[in-house]
Amino acid sequence: MSRVVYSLSTSLDGYIVDGADRFDWSVPDEEVFALAMDEVRGLSVHLLGRRLYETMVYWETADRDPELDFAEAGFGRLWRALPKLVFSTTLAEVVGTTELATETLAEAVARLRTEHPDGEIGIGGAGLAAAAADLDLIDEYRIRLYPVLVGGGTPFFAHHGRHSPLELLDSRIFASQVVYLRYGVRR
């Protein structure tokens, strides 16, 4: 059965963006960028909230920018080709291989698990991931932990009061001191 994976960068104190809505502290180096590319290559589809969609829409045309290096252009091509589903009550249209969700998150995940039985369903955006965690839909957490304290902002993990036992599946420390942690949810 396909897995729902939540993968984002976070500060050591647990935030994906700081109190000023900045995430420039999480710009990946070459090694971490390669990991992110490998993760995207493994996805069958990616679910996004509106804010993450608006951030990532840049990549729909970025590979055409002659200023990008080879790796960034490659990521742009991967991202543009990847089917995406956006959950938003305010967007009227989306671009590229992206669709607006017309069903609930639980319904969409159930449908996509059937359509992509051996694939991975990526989920991104803290709000959407929190909703998925509340519904116990996330199978893996993939965390790129940056050695910085930002003091507040948008948290990586949902604050829903649920207890979710996890099992460490993989860990790495990169030269940049970013720590990669991959946990599976024990059910």
Q: What pLDDT, on the 0 to 100 scale, is given for residue 70?
A: 83
Residue 95 has pLDDT above 80, yes or no: yes
The pLDDT mean for the chain works out to 93
Q: What pLDDT, on the 0 to 100 scale, is given for residue 16?
A: 93
Residue 159 has pLDDT above 80, yes or no: no
**Residue 149, both tokens:** 């304290």
Higher pLDDT, 75 or 87: 87
Residue 41 has pLDDT above 80, yes or no: yes
pLDDT tens figures, 111-143: 999 999 999 999 998 999 999 999 999 999 999
Q: What pLDDT, on the 0 to 100 scale, is given for residue 105?
A: 98
Whole-prediction pTM: 0.92
Residue 72 has pLDDT above 90, yes or no: no
Say what percent of the chain tops pLDDT 70: 100
Domains by residue range for the chain, with CATH: 3-185 (3.40.430.10)
In DSSP notation, the chain reads --EEEEEEEEETTSEEEETTS--GGG---HHHHHHHHHHHHTEEEEEEEHHHHHHHGGGGTGGG-TTS-HHHHHHHHHHHHS-EEEE-SS-----TTEEE--S-HHHHHHHHHHHSTTSEEEEESHHHHHHHHHTT---EEEEEEES----SEEESS--S-----EEEEEEEE-TTS-EEEEEEEP-
Higher pLDDT, 72 or 128: 128
**Cβ partners under 8 Å of residue 92, min gap 6:** none
Q: What pLDDT, on the 0 to 100 scale, is given for residue 104?
A: 98
